[in-house]
Every structure is written in structure tokens, then in C-alpha cells.
Structure 1
Amino acid sequence: MFYYKYNDKYLFSIKDEYSFTKINSIPHDCQELYYLNNLTGNSKRAFSVNHPSDLYINEESLDMLRVNDISYDLPENITELIDKRKIKAVNTAYSDYADCFYMDEFNKRKVNILALGDVGSTLLIGLKLLGKDSISSIGIYDRSLDKIKRWEYEMNQTSFPFDDSLPTVQGINKEELFDCDMFIFCASKGVPPVGSQVADVRMAQFEGNAELIKEYALMAADCRFKGIFAVVSDPVDQLCQTVLKESRGVLAPEQIKGYGLGVMNARALYYSKKFNKFSMYLKEGRAFGPHGKDLIIANSIRDYDDELSRELTKYAVEANLEVRKTGFKPYIAPALSSGAISIIYTLEGKYHYSSNYLAGVYMGAKNRNLPSGLDIEKIQMPDKLFERIKKTYNKLK
């Protein structure tokens, strides 16, 4: 190992190829450490090191979703800091990598929402009610001034009886959208009407929504936006990729997150309570991939059953069609499970489901955002499950 100091930050690397001031070791009381590595190919600018294997990669791959059986001989203090998630991996292939030498503490964040349609307004209600500890204020913007005024009135008259701790909601101008810590994109060109014969409702929206989101990706780039660009509109994985492309390298891949997988997990939970054969899902199951037809539900990561998993996946994928049969658009559960709840958990550093950049694509998995960066869960993964994930990954490439 090679150790360095940069201002008041401690750095280390396996390769001696950096010109920072060299030191002999890391202080034993160090609680903030940065690992330098030059990653090739499609890799993030920074992420939280959650396993020793993260120190020995040359580029990102799907293998970062699973734990390997290799034994690593690391200094004890390095191992302890990995376990505490106090090491941020910094990809020195990025010219601005030194901007990553910081770890934010958890504080209340300023959140802005674009578009107050069915999804945006429902998500707003969720954030207002759940955001006491994580959100300082919620800015709202829509092309309709009346919608802005309506929701500003309604939300600021929503309160617990003897407590004024819920986040304030305020209308903002379009130019203020990126004056925040998290920008939430809920705009849509239109959802296929109830009764239409569209096989994949989510993908049917891609072309129109991609055109919409390009404008805001460019705005984010022009503003040198440093926060999270959260995509809630469908299809989230492909739209995240559009944002990355259109932001012209200004936004780091890990700044962009897609919120669609939370509701697929919730739908799998619903059916696991409805049918006893899926009952293990609550404590042992996982969801991966996009929240459309290429979704992957694993009934259990302890005792994986491929047939049961595929059956539960089918139930989750088709759940929105069951709502449509009632004559209504299925937007409430997505806005709350994928949107509000998952966003609150993001801001609080808790595990949730969302899509993040991994090896060149945006794909959903269990993850959390920590001061040290994005922490995507690694598990002991059954081979059959890994093959399903690889198949979906290749479709997203």
C-alpha cells in the first residue's frame, strides 16, 4: 500500500503512481479515507468501498453485485474502515477526481420537483408527510401556475396538530429548479390511456420523455449541478442514460438515480403475502433490473428457486395491468413506493431500491447513499440468479 496526504485528507493506493505528498501510514484515528484507482471503461467517478474486492478491480462489472470467496490481506485499519463504510473509492481517470475528496454529513436537504401531474403531486404528498427529518424545503414547478399555487396552498396547510416540523413547500421559477440538493423529474409527454393495447406501457413513453428530459439535463450541466438528478418518469433506466449523455460529462454517473424499482419490490411483497409459496420474499428476496418486462425478482437469496422467482416476477410485472383493469391508471403505488419512500431513504442513507450506474448502464438493485458515496449491496449470489441479471444487463447496454 502507498499512503498520501492532500490538504487535510488521507489517501491510499495499491499502485505508486500519484504525486501527492507521501506518508508512511494512515493515522489510527482516521475516520475518512480515499482510495485512488484508475478505472478503465464505463466506471463511476466515485463510490463507497463495501468489500475488499473493490480495491482490486480495473473496471466496473456485474461482479460488483456479488461477494467472492477470495481472502484479502489488508492492514487491519483499512479493513475496519471498509466495514464502517468510511472509504470512498475515487476514479482518477476523471480529470476532476480531486473534487471527490469530501464526505457530506447527513443534513436536511432542499428538494425541487418538476411537474405536478398525477405522479408528481402524489410524490409531493409523500415527501411532505415523510420528510420531517430529511427535507428542509420542497420547491415545486409546473408549466401551470395554477397548479403551483394550488399545491403550495394545500401542502402548507397540511400539518400535524401541535407540530410545525414538516418541510415547507414553495413555488419556484423554472430557472431555480437546480438550486437544490436533489432535482426530481416527474414530467411526462403522456401515459397510454386505460384500455389501450400497449404491451409495455413504460417503454411506450421513452421517446417522448427522452425529448423532455434532454432540456433539463442540459440545464443541469449549464448550472454545474452538484446534487442528485432523480428520474421518476418512465422508463427510468433509459432516461437516466439519456441524462448522462446529454449532460456532456458535467454530471458524474453516480449523480443520476432512477426511481422505479421500489414499486416492483412492493408488488412482489404484495403477492408474497397473498400466496404462501412466496412468503420468504419479505426477509430473503431481492429485486434487480429495470421495472419493466426485464425485471428480476429473486424469491430468496438464501434458497433461490428459479421457477418460483420467475413466477413472482411475472406477478410483479403485470400488477400495473391489474390496476388498469379497474379503469384507473396505476400511479399511486409507483409515486409512493418508488418515489417518495425511496427518495426519503436515499436522503437518510438507508437501503432502498433504485437504479444506479454500474458498468455502463443504469440498473436497479438494493443500495444506499452514504457520506462515502454510493453503496450497492453485494450478496452471495446463486449462479442462476446471476445469469438472469447478466441477460437483463446485456439488454440495457
Structure 2
Amino acid sequence: MYYYRYHDQLFASLLPNLPLEAAEMPAAQVPVVFLVSRDPQHSLAAYCVSSSRQLTAAEEDVTWLDPNRMSVEIPTLSRRIQRRISTRTLRAVNIQHPKWQSILEPPGTHAAKCRVNLLAVGDVGGTLLTALKLLGRDCIEHIGICDLSEHTVARWAAEMGQVSWPWDYESLPPVEPIPPERLFDCDVVIFSATRSIPPVGSGIRDVRMTQFDANRTIIEAYARQARSSAFRGLFAILSDPVDPLCKAAYLASNMGPDGIWDGGGLRPEQIQGFGLGVMNARAAYIAKQDSRFRSFLEEGRSFGPHGQGLVIANSIAHYDDALSQELTQQVLEANLRIRELGFKPYVAPALSSGALQLLLTLRGQWHCSSVCLGDVWFGVRNRFTPAGLELETASLPDALFARLQETETLLRAII
């Protein structure tokens, strides 16, 4: 191993001859940052290390969910570095990223309470806003709302202003209108805007993907605004299709005036898609009704996008591929049952994918969301730690891992 100093901060690395001041192996101090080197356009800029193989892997992909499948040897590390990995206190920083010097410390999106701004207060946004207002008192300082319709903003600001506990009028986070130019003056931006949703009875089975082209144009404009605002917080995307829109936002934010990627915008780990939570909740709902799927309630996991490519596993330890495939299909069709009743299925997504997962995110707890895995945003169980973004890792059965690879290929083909 090698040691370096930069502005009085000590780093460890497996890379020799970095353009930094060389340092001796410390007698007592243990570096909290480990420098790695990867193509910055297709890699996380910084993350919490959960496996030593993540320090030497040439690229990021679904093998990161099962590090034993990563095609690299286990590196030789000091016991103190190994201990930091086991306690999830080692932060890896990609020295090839143009912003590496500014991200040596986590950006602090998890202050005691966060400032949250919500873009678009429609069906999903309004439901989400209500839940955040009622449930976010411990982690949200205030909520700003922005919408194309001034009347919509005025209505929701007034409605939420009239929601309070009796005789404890300051206990819930206040909701206030914000102009578009102040959208990124906060810690978390929630994007729930959508141009159009196919009407009930349209016959379209994959409603989410039909929205991609229209919503992509919208999100790219706001991603460029995030760049110009030098936004350092979390960009949370709820609009469909969640996973491709995350990548579209990332690419648009990081394109320079010449149309070439320059890394000057949102870092990959700043963008998360919130669509998987409702699929996980639907799997649990079905499992409660059908005893064949009961194992999901204790041992199950959900992966992938909010739509085609979704992977529901009945269990990691006792995986049954046929059972999991059947459960996955039922989850995919659950929203159609609501449409057959004559309603748009937005309440469960706004709550299970949106509000509940966002609150877990702000609290630094495990949640379901889509994060960057190389060339795609992929739904997984993850959390933000003081060292950065941590992905849940596990020993995955071959049949389950093959499904994850198929989904990865599918997502890469979209954008």
C-alpha cells in the first residue's frame, strides 16, 4: 500500500506514483479516504467501501452486489484498513474525477434536518408532500414547493399551512412556495414532474416507458440548472421511467458547452431514482395474501427498475426461481388492477416509493432506490453512511444473478 498527503489530509491507496505528496505509513492514524482510479464518466466519484475488491475493480456493474463474483483478486491491505471496511468507515474517492478534491469529505446531505424542495405538486407530488409534512418532523427543516401553476402552489401552501397538531403549531415542517430560480437552494430536490400520463383505459401496458421521451426533455433542463447552481445535495427522481431518467439527468448535467462530458455537474451518487419501493411493497402485499410467497416477508429482496426488468426474489438464502418469476409478474401487473377499477395508481407509488424511502434516505437508513452501477441506474437496497453511499452486498444464487445481468443489459440498451 501507499500513503499520500494533500492539504494535511492522509490517504491510502494501492496506486503508486500519484501526483501527491508521498507519506510514510502512519504509526497510529488510520486514513479514512482510499484513493482509486477509474473512468470517471462511468463510475461513482465517491462511495463507502463494503468489499476490498471494490478498491481494485476496473469498472462498476452488478457484480458489486455480490463481490465474490468480481473478476479481481482480493488486495493485500493493512489490518487497520480492513477494519475500516468491516465497520463501513472507509470512503473511496476516484482520483480521476474532476471534482475529487472537493469530495474528500461527504457533502453533509444528512444534517440534523434537511431543506427539501419539491418540483411539481400534482397527484404524486401532492400525496408525497402530505406524507413528508406529517412524517418528516425529525429530519426535514422545511419544504419548498415549485410548480408551473401558481394556483397549484398557492393551494398546496395554504392547505399544508393549515395542517398542524393542536397547540403544537411549530412541530411539523413548514411548506412554502419557492420560485424556479431557487429550486436548488436546498439539500434535497425531489423531481416529480411529468409531461403526460396515458389516461385510464388507454390499453397501454407499460405506461412508464411511454413517458420517457417527454419527461427526458424536462429533466435534462433541470439537470443543467443543477449544474449551473453548483448543487451539492441529493437529486431525487420520482417521475417515470425512473431509472433511465436518472441517467439522462446525469449525462445532461455533465455536458459542457461543447457537448462533451466534463464531470462539471451532478456526481453519480448525487442522483437516486425512487421507483423500486412500491414494487417491494406490492411484493409484500401479495405475499401476505398468498402463503406460497410468505418467504418474501422475511428473506425477500427487490432489484432493478420500476417496470420491465424488475427482479423480485422470494428469498436470497432459499431462492426459488420459478416462484420468484411468478411473484415478479404479479407485482408488475398490480398497477393494472387499480387501472381496471378506473383509477390512476399513484397513491402507493407516491408513498412507498416516494415519501417512505426518502425519509429513510434522509435518516441514513437502508432503503430501496436506484443508484449508479457503472452505465446504468439500478434499483437496490442501499443507504448513505458518513463514509458515503453503501450498497447491500450478499452471496447471490446463480439463477438470481443471471436475472440481474439480464436487467443490466436491458437498462443499458435504453440510454
Q: TM-score, normalised by structure 2?
A: 0.92
Cα distance per residue 1:229-270 (max 9 Å; x no partner): 111000001111110111123111111111000000000010
Matched, 1:156 2:161: yes
- Give the equivalent residue in structure 2 for 1:329: 344
| Whole-Å separation in 2 of the counterparts to 1:259 and 1:322 | 22
Alignment of 1:294-313 (within 5 A): 294-313=309-328
| Whole-Å separation in 1 of the counterparts to 2:296 and 2:75 | 32
- Give the equivalent residue in structure 1 for 2:207: 201
Q: What secondary structure is seen at the aligned counterpart in 2 of 1:47?
A: strand
| Whole-Å separation in 1 of the counterparts to 2:90 and 2:167 | 42
- Give the equivalent residue in structure 1 for 2:54: 54
Q: Is the 8 A contact 1:289 1:392 kept in 2?
A: yes
- Give the equivalent residue in structure 2 for 1:262: 277
Match of 1:244 among 250, 261, 268: 250
- Give the equivalent residue in structure 1 for 2:83: 80
Cα distance per residue 1:68-122 (max 9 Å; x no partner): 1876543221122112221111111212211111133642111100011000010
Q: Is the 8 A contact 2:56 2:75 kept in 1?
A: no
The alpha-carbon distance between structure 1 residues 77 and 271, as it changes in their structure 2 partners (threshold 3 A), is same
| Whole-Å separation in 2 of the counterparts to 1:23 and 1:117 | 55
Q: What secondary structure is seen at the aligned counterpart in 2 of 1:209?
A: helix
- Where do 5+ consecutive residues of structure 2 fail to align? 256-262
The alpha-carbon distance between structure 1 residues 307 and 275, as it changes in their structure 2 partners (threshold 3 A), is same
| Whole-Å separation in 1 of the counterparts to 2:28 and 2:135 | 39
Q: CA deviation at 1:396?
A: 0.8
Alignment of 1:170-319 (within 5 A): 170-247=176-253, 248=255, 249=263, 250-319=265-334
Matched, 1:89 2:88: no
| Whole-Å separation in 2 of the counterparts to 1:66 and 1:309 | 19
The alpha-carbon distance between structure 1 residues 160 and 10, as it changes in their structure 2 partners (threshold 3 A), is farther
- Paired residue type of 1:255: Q
Q: What secondary structure is seen at the aligned counterpart in 2 of 1:68?
A: helix
Q: CA deviation at 1:9?
A: 2.5
Aligned residues: 396
Alignment of 1:339-378 (within 5 A): 339-378=354-393
Cα distance per residue 1:319-359 (max 9 Å; x no partner): 00011111110000000110011111111111111111101
Percent sequence identity over aligned pairs: 45
Cα distance per residue 1:166-200 (max 9 Å; x no partner): 21111010111010111111111111111111020
| Whole-Å separation in 2 of the counterparts to 1:83 and 1:153 | 48
Q: Is the 8 A contact 1:244 1:256 kept in 2?
A: yes
Q: Is the 8 A contact 2:12 2:33 kept in 1?
A: yes
The alpha-carbon distance between structure 1 residues 71 and 189, as it changes in their structure 2 partners (threshold 3 A), is closer
Q: CA deviation at 1:147?
A: 1.4
- Give the equivalent residue in structure 2 for 1:121: 126
Q: Is the 8 A contact 1:354 1:366 kept in 2?
A: yes
Cα distance per residue 1:256-294 (max 9 Å; x no partner): 111000000000010111111111112211111101021
Q: CA deviation at 1:162?
A: 4.6
- Give the equivalent residue in structure 2 for 1:12: 12
Q: What secondary structure is seen at the aligned counterpart in 2 of 1:151?
A: helix
- Give the equivalent residue in structure 1 for 2:21: 21
- Paired residue type of 1:240: C
Q: CA deviation at 1:386?
A: 0.6
| Whole-Å separation in 1 of the counterparts to 2:342 and 2:396 | 40
| Whole-Å separation in 2 of the counterparts to 1:173 and 1:203 | 30
| Whole-Å separation in 1 of the counterparts to 2:135 and 2:60 | 34
Deviates more, 1:221-230 or 1:108-117: 221-230
| Whole-Å separation in 1 of the counterparts to 2:283 and 2:300 | 9
Q: CA deviation at 1:146?
A: 1.6
| Whole-Å separation in 1 of the counterparts to 2:4 and 2:217 | 45
Cα distance per residue 1:112-139 (max 9 Å; x no partner): 0001100001010111112111111100
Q: What secondary structure is seen at the aligned counterpart in 2 of 1:136?
A: strand
| Whole-Å separation in 2 of the counterparts to 1:95 and 1:336 | 36
Matched, 1:100 2:103: yes
